[in-house]
Chain A
Amino acid sequence: MTDLYQTQRAMRNIRRAAMQRGVIAILDIGSSKVGCLILKFDDAAGGRDMEGVGSMAGQSSFRVIGAATTRSRGVRLGEIAVMNETERAIRTAVQSAQKMANVRVDHVIACFSGAEPRSYGLAGEWDLQDSVVSEQDVARVLAACDVPDIGEGREVLHAQPVNFALDHRSGLGDPRGQIGNRLSCDLHMMTVDASVVQNLIYCLKRCDLELAGMASSAYVSGISSLVEDEQELGAACIDMGGGSTGISVFMKKHMIFSDSVRMGGDHVTSDISKGLQVPLTTAERIKTKFGGVHATGMDDREMIEIGGDSGDWEKDRRQVSRTEVIGIMRPRVEEILEEARARLDAAGFDHLPSQQIVLTGGASQIPGLDGLAARILGQRVRLGRPLRVQGLPQAATGPAFSSAVGLCLFAAHPQDEWWDFDIPAERYPARSLKRAMKWFKDNW
């Protein structure tokens, strides 16, 4: 864990360097598409030193100058399965985005949906030495969180302090400078499979790109598709991607829970392919063109030529009604939604004050999905589209791009993570020069 902790710190420094250069790339590695956006930051500082919320909710500090998307290859269930193929897909996306932007990018922030995210809620307490909370105290209370056994071969992807409490006052965003005796904090930690992260790092290295940050796509699509009051009051974002469906629960503008269902649009496609005995590409075309989840009488009469290339007349001239296609798709979509419901129930989503659920991602474009989802997930379901950001092409404003757009916002305004805070002085190795420096800095 210390290894990734150091990696994350290094990535944060790289991100800062990239901000100073003003150009950074966003890479959304999904199971069905690889998208690359190139952001240009207007001010070198990245707009972080602005007081309060800036114009356009602080998004005017960057604009998208290059965007490209390509069919994903070698990614299954949101994880890199074939390194070479994925590398080629990333190269394609990055190259065409660079061509559009006419700049070279070296730093990239990536997100992925797979790797079996698990989230943990951590709590820590610290008795303040003097009654004023200092930065060191924040670092110490974060260090005091007892980390559960996250299992072999897993790494921490996100570790965000979501709440600070001082004595009996809870809900403090920034406790520094406040007066009290006992500081406690809640930390949301999200762990993923280490091998997936290693593969991603290796893959980007082979593309001559430097990784400046990583995020879970469930988290970043929540950032982009939940509106501000939903994030504040509590809402769940279900990002229905190609290979996996990410779930993130937001409360008080922090992600407090995240999970993923390892099913997505690709499974619907493969169901159609199996059910109709057609190739996957045809099945994908039928799904996007004629797909749905509610059959009506009209659909019985709408016949779809599914064709074929076998040379057999009977097989090549087959026709199915749209009802049949819907009949194949609906159980799988229901299964995905029910699975998501189960995950949310397990996380205690029904105890939240607001039960808003937002569906986003490419697979949420199935016609009639909101009606079906309302039956399974509750009445307060809406389809979400990502926030509009400056310079984003029209083609990239659909729900399939919510994680890419969310990653842009994440790049512009990163959430403070555990590794952004100083290491408490006690944690430095004894006799370290750094420790001595730290002591001097803190005491004078």
Chain B
Amino acid sequence: MRPLTAQRPGAANTARPAPLRRDPAPSRTAYRMQRMWLRPWVRAGLRVGLPVLVLALGVGIYLSDQPRRDALNAMYTDLTETVKNRPEFMVNLLAIDGASPDLDAAVRTALALPLPQSSLDLDLDAAHAKIAQLQAVASADVRVQSGGILQVTITEREPAFVWRNAAGVWLVDDTGTRIAEVEARGDRADLPLIAGEGADTAIAEARAILTSAGPLLPRLRGLVRMGDRRWDIVLDREQRIMLPSVDPVAALERLIALDQAQEVLARDLASVDLRLQARPALRLAPYSLAEMRRLRGIIPAESDL
């Protein structure tokens, strides 16, 4: 309906005082809440803490049921199995390079891998450790190659000596590590023989002595470590060359020079004692000793002892 009062332009509308606005003052509670909300830790708590709490609560409630947990586990296991058993990941073949047939068999026995197997299940580090434990192996490299091949590349230890000791006859390499036991020394007649306690720890010295014993080599039977201290060279005809513990190579070289000049070793000697550098000593064989005494007119006293 049209208002009865005349509408005048301009002032007419402003003449009516605007109705008093509702009091905009916040209530005490609203005021306190707003001030609380302005505290930084309250804001952080509500913005981060509350969602985290709700999420944790929800997950916790969902997982508190045993069948649900089992179902989740089963699902996870299924999934991992499916992925693992894909043909791309399967290892079907164990290939061993650089090993003698004996070692090859030993490695296969040590690994004892049930093939085919997923490469994701393979523990290459453990396999490597198992191979490295074999004494004949100097170094090994284990890797899975494409085409489902487990490639084991082995560097074998090189036997350098035959070592005879109380436990048997062993092959040792240049570092003194035992490689394998052999039935008899004759199995590896190509390698020099060493014997005696602690011989494996002085392999380097033995090698040096052998290198400088050139002219004696045809007569050489072996080296004997005496008292874990020094070496004896054993020649045929039961001859022994007793080397000093210090600088044996120089002593040996002097002896060889003497031998080449005067053919000392060709005579009927039991041993040459080089242990004291200033006073090398020769021991004659018993027969030669008696003969020499007879020639010199010395009658040895017979003794019952």
- State whether A309 and B38 are in contact (beta carbons under 8 Å apart), knowing that A88-B23, A91-B26, A95-B26 are contacts in the complex: no
Nearest neighbor of A313 in chain B, beta-carbon distance: B5
Nearest neighbor of A304 in chain B, beta-carbon distance: B11
Q: Judging by beta carbons under 8 Å apart, are A91 and B15 in contact?
A: no
B15, B23, B26, B28: the one contacting A305 at CB < 8 Å is B15
Residue A205 CB within 8 A of the other chain: no
Interface residues of B in 182-224 (CB under 8 A from A): none
- State whether A316 and B34 are in contact (beta carbons under 8 Å apart), knowing that A91-B25, A91-B26, A92-B24 are contacts in the complex: no
A130-144 near B? 1/0 per residue, CB < 8 Å: 000000000000000
* A98 and B31 alpha carbons, distance in the complex (Å): 10
Residue A282 CB within 8 A of the other chain: yes
Residue B12 CB within 8 A of the other chain: yes
B26, B28, B35, B38: the one contacting A92 at CB < 8 Å is B26
Residue B14 CB within 8 A of the other chain: yes
Nearest neighbor of B21 in chain A, beta-carbon distance: A71
Segment among A99-107, A251-259, A325-333, A377-385 that sits at the interface with chain B: A99-107
Q: Judging by beta carbons under 8 Å apart, are A305 and B31 in contact?
A: no
Whole-angstrom distance between the Cβ of A94 and the nearest chain B Cβ: 8
* A306 and B26 alpha carbons, distance in the complex (Å): 33
Residue A207 CB within 8 A of the other chain: yes
Residue A199 CB within 8 A of the other chain: no
- State whether A307 and B15 are in contact (beta carbons under 8 Å apart), knowing that A92-B24, A92-B25, A95-B31 are contacts in the complex: yes
Residue B101 CB within 8 A of the other chain: no
Q: What's the tally of chain A residues with a CB closer than 8 Å to chain B?
A: 27
A70, A104, A281: the one contacting B38 at CB < 8 Å is A104
- State whether A88 and B25 are in contact (beta carbons under 8 Å apart), knowing that A281-B17, A305-B11 are contacts in the complex: yes
Measured between beta carbons, the chain B residues less than 8 angstroms from A88 are 23, 25
Residue A157 CB within 8 A of the other chain: no
Q: Judging by beta carbons under 8 Å apart, are A89 and B17 in contact?
A: no
Nearest neighbor of B11 in chain A, beta-carbon distance: A305
- State whether A95 and B16 are in contact (beta carbons under 8 Å apart), knowing that A70-B24, A88-B25, A89-B25 are contacts in the complex: no
- State whether A305 and B14 are in contact (beta carbons under 8 Å apart), knowing that A88-B25, A92-B26 are contacts in the complex: yes
Residue A208 CB within 8 A of the other chain: yes
Interface residues of B in 1-60 (CB under 8 A from A): 5, 8, 11-12, 14-17, 20, 23-26, 28, 30-32, 34-35, 38-39
* Of listed B12, B28, B39, residue having the most chain A CB within 10 A: B28
Q: Judging by beta carbons under 8 Å apart, are A279 and B17 in contact?
A: yes
Measured between beta carbons, the chain A residues less than 8 angstroms from B8 are 305
Q: Judging by beta carbons under 8 Å apart, are B24 and A103 in contact?
A: no
Whole-angstrom distance between the Cβ of B259 and the nearest chain A Cβ: 98
Measured between beta carbons, the chain B residues less than 8 angstroms from A103 are 38
* A255 and B59 alpha carbons, distance in the complex (Å): 69
* A212 and B169 alpha carbons, distance in the complex (Å): 100
Nearest neighbor of B24 in chain A, beta-carbon distance: A92
* A226 and B166 alpha carbons, distance in the complex (Å): 115
Q: Judging by beta carbons under 8 Å apart, are B38 and A102 in contact?
A: yes
A93-126 near B? 1/0 per residue, CB < 8 Å: 0110011001110000000000000000000000
Q: Judging by beta carbons under 8 Å apart, are B32 and A306 in contact?
A: no
Q: Judging by beta carbons under 8 Å apart, are A208 and B32 in contact?
A: yes
Whole-angstrom distance between the Cβ of A297 and the nearest chain B Cβ: 21
* A306 and B15 alpha carbons, distance in the complex (Å): 6
* A94 and B30 alpha carbons, distance in the complex (Å): 12
Nearest neighbor of B8 in chain A, beta-carbon distance: A305
Nearest neighbor of B6 in chain A, beta-carbon distance: A317
Known: A208-B32, A306-B15. 18 other contacts (CB 8 A): A73-B23, A88-B25, A89-B25, A91-B26, A92-B26, A95-B30, A95-B31, A102-B38, A104-B35, A104-B38, A104-B39, A285-B17, A305-B12, A307-B14, A307-B15, A307-B17, A313-B5, A316-B5
